[in-house]
Amino acid sequence: MNKAVFLDRDGVLNEEMGDYVWTPERFRICPGVPESLARLKAAGYYLVVVTNQAGIAKGLYTRADVLACHEILQQACGYQLDALYMSESYPSVSESIFRKPDSGMLEKAMARYHLDPAQCWLVGDRARDMQAGAQLGVRGILVGHSELIAYSPRVADLQAATELILING
């Protein structure tokens, strides 16, 4: 069985802008992300992005717009991300088991990469991220302070989350 770090996108890998981030001009990678991903990759983790992209279901932007941002992310990070999964649904428009807090995106990656949930981590900035991981026994790390919930461990950014993961295996 293999291990992975599941990564939420907005607020973890790229800057959260307060609304939808889907244009290359507004897509800014957070400081330290390429280095953090390189350290996790060197430690033997698969790196899997799991992101809700409700703006697609709402008609605000297209899948191609999101994929263009993902290409920028991959280029900046030396193509170290093994998979980028997105849920295009939104509850009032369409239902999906892939939209966090459901665990469909994680389950898909677990099957694809033969992952052991006990050896995996999920790094996200929302309660729904932590819920998706908890459903499968994946340890979570909450990043930032935008979510008003009590959760531990909670760290400032992906760099701090990387330290926790590498120390705790």
Which residue is catalytic, options 10, 65, 102, 125? 10
Whether 102 sits among the annotated catalytic residues: the reply is no
Whether 129 sits among the annotated catalytic residues: the reply is no
Which residue is catalytic, options 8, 65, 102, 157? 8
The Cα 21–Cα 25 span in angstroms is: 9
Cβ atoms of 130 and 142 closer than 8 Å: yes
- Is the peptide bond prior to 153 cis by the omega test (within 30 degrees of 0)? yes
Cβ atoms of 96 and 54 closer than 8 Å: no
Of residues 100, 107, 102, 105, the one with CA closest to residue 124 = 100
| Catalytic residue list | 8, 10
